[in-house]
Structure 1
């Protein structure tokens, strides 16, 4: 399973090698819970305790507030490895990492508020996420106006509404809630602490990524003080367009595919069909499929890490990387699916068994297509850029 068993050309220095070694070991611990978490579809509290003890949640918080201040490249390394152990846990946990990467680049909050939130993560192990999607309106990135409403009161706001696909809902506190500020007609970003006015409804029951805890959060006239309004945003995307998110998603689903690749290679070396007197690894059509898997994996990892490197080394170019990052998300998620499909073909009928680990990878990797931005948004955006940009 471990990438560090063989030379990984994407490890460039001792700091990266140390992170890789550490989170390879963490991934092995996560894997020991992954099958049970998937079968039960319950939130993996034990796995998140492992991540908390490993210091995962403070990796991207700023160093001045006690964090590790990992780069995008370093988080890509970590998340790919964690996803090899448990893709659902890596996906869920990765949202917080991505959140702090984004806020480090363009913080819209008051510094004292951001500092307090960071210190809560480092000192108390707080876990948080942004909750924007709703059942009726869908994702605000497609231009919908939230039905979650923040009504002004004498000393603050009362927030009411429901958020769906609320990843980390069972464990997140504080919550970052996107709500429509009624008296101003703008989108607001609010910091909300859990209370008896915040109810988590267990609604997450999917074919893949079953233990992300992406349940429904119901807010019943939750009072927050005026300072809980962190930022206001206007425009179609709500001011939340952050390119680093796309690589985080790609790294997780590539990690799932990487796990499938490693598993099937070991399987092919030791599996002997009844009609053969040699392992199936020596059969030409099996080698053809594994060779195709290697092409997809190698090109995807090269694309992933080259863009992460460019993001870190050339901050002044980040506004020009949108198309590259979206194309990478599209390409890598599709190639990840292709890798797992080929692994299933190598396995044959046994790959369909619920007792065979590959079946979980096959279901999990399909979920990359549902992650924002969806394929149609990426394709349309790239087409318009090619056709109409000067």
Structure 2
């Protein structure tokens, strides 16, 4: 067995070991803070200070711009290990590093604009996300027209509207905002430097993932100069068409598998240490506990194997990425539903003590449920698999 596989069988080389080790160090810090932020529903600003100082925010920035230029495999590895400490922080920063990677691959922005964002991230620790969701439209992947508007003004545009599920809103410094362009039949995307005219309305109060800062963002006459507007497309049914073909979205299943991994570790420690006086040894010796732990391991190994193998295929075969779209959805489906099963099994192993707010297991139990509501939804993932299977028989 290699030194890398002793740490994690999915760590294959020294660079990956360094990436995982940084995430592990950060995860240990974040785990100690997570109960307070979960209880209060407060945003872990100090976690993002640590992420900034560690260089994590530049994980997917191109090397030419001073970043680490992580591969998809490395992104998944970093995010999964980070989520073992605090799922909320991992999911939140996951949107930042994934979108920076997606833009790196798709080259959808003008080179100068992307370079400027990269420089802000590397030199100043800028934090970036894309805000498209609105209450009236639901998930942007379903194709609703934004009620947020962009109106032409001298030298640029004025943005007005409200975005929901605005993860990272307490610390985001830059964002991409979708808006309906008045007097034109199109939706535009606009690069906004968050400041004057942008307000955070603290609406986020949920059962799980309570510390992602996914509040509403309100835009009031926010000026975007012409050079920082992104070309919009004519209104039509939305289809994810980024040239990375959804690869960067694997940060989502990576996060939920990381949370499930933490639940697994807790259950194993508990089973080995808990010795009720009715037994001669720990509950880990009991056949029914071993069966539950075995089922848990099977779920975790299956989900991780699928996740990392797909990330590796995506990295190795850029020309074949379009063919992986349904498989990427499958990875998310397997990971999020597997995470639910893993944490449920961990709760069964621990028993009634797992319900205690003094232990992290009940937080894991709540947090993994949020994965069902991150894209792609189960119905979309399964429909894409069905359509592919049906087309293969023609």
Sort the TM-score into its range (normalised by shorter chain).
over 0.9
Query: 1:383 offset after TM fit, Å?
Result: 1.7
The answer on whether the counterparts of 2:240 and 2:246 sit within 8 Å (CA) in structure 1 is: no
Mapping for residues 183-262 of structure 1, pairs under 5 Å: 183-234=183-234, 235-237=236-238, 241=242, 242-262=245-265
Is 1:381 equivalent to 2:384 in the alignment?
A: yes
Aligned residues: 388
Q: Give CA-to-partner distance per residue, 1:38-60, whole Å, 9 cap, x none.
A: 11111100011111111011010
Query: 1:185 offset after TM fit, Å?
Result: 1.5
Which residue of structure 1 lines up, in the alignment, with residue 299 of structure 2? 296
The answer on whether the counterparts of 1:233 and 1:239 sit within 8 Å (CA) in structure 2 is: no
Partners of 2:6 and 2:37 in 1: CA distance? 30
Mind listing any 5+ residue stretches in structure 1 that lack a counterpart?
A: none
Is 1:318 equivalent to 2:331 in the alignment?
A: no
Runs of 4 or more consecutive aligned structure 1 residues displaced over 6 Å after TM superposition: none
Query: 1:280 offset after TM fit, Å?
Result: 0.3
Which residue of structure 2 lines up, in the alignment, with residue 91 of structure 1? 91
Match of 1:270 among 269, 273, 287: 273
Mind listing any 5+ residue stretches in structure 2 that lack a counterpart?
A: none
State TM-score, norm by structure 1: 0.96
Q: Indicate how the Cα distance of structure 1 residues 239 and 154 shifts in structure 2: closer, same or farther if over 3 A, else same.
A: farther
Mapping for residues 1-390 of structure 1, pairs under 5 Å: 6-234=6-234, 235-237=236-238, 241=242, 242-388=245-391, 390=394
Query: 1:179 offset after TM fit, Å?
Result: 0.8
The answer on whether the counterparts of 2:130 and 2:177 sit within 8 Å (CA) in structure 1 is: yes
The answer on whether the counterparts of 2:5 and 2:11 sit within 8 Å (CA) in structure 1 is: no
The answer on whether the counterparts of 1:150 and 1:181 sit within 8 Å (CA) in structure 2 is: yes
Q: Give CA-to-partner distance per residue, 1:82-117, whole Å, 9 cap, x none.
A: 000001000000101100111111111110111001
Query: 1:239 offset after TM fit, Å?
Result: 5.3
SS at match of 2:18: helix
Query: 1:4 offset after TM fit, Å?
Result: 7.1
State TM-score, norm by structure 2: 0.95
The answer on whether the counterparts of 1:108 and 1:231 sit within 8 Å (CA) in structure 2 is: no
The answer on whether the counterparts of 1:141 and 1:236 sit within 8 Å (CA) in structure 2 is: no
Q: Indicate how the Cα distance of structure 1 residues 316 and 240 shifts in structure 2: closer, same or farther if over 3 A, else same.
A: closer
Partners of 1:121 and 1:152 in 2: CA distance? 29
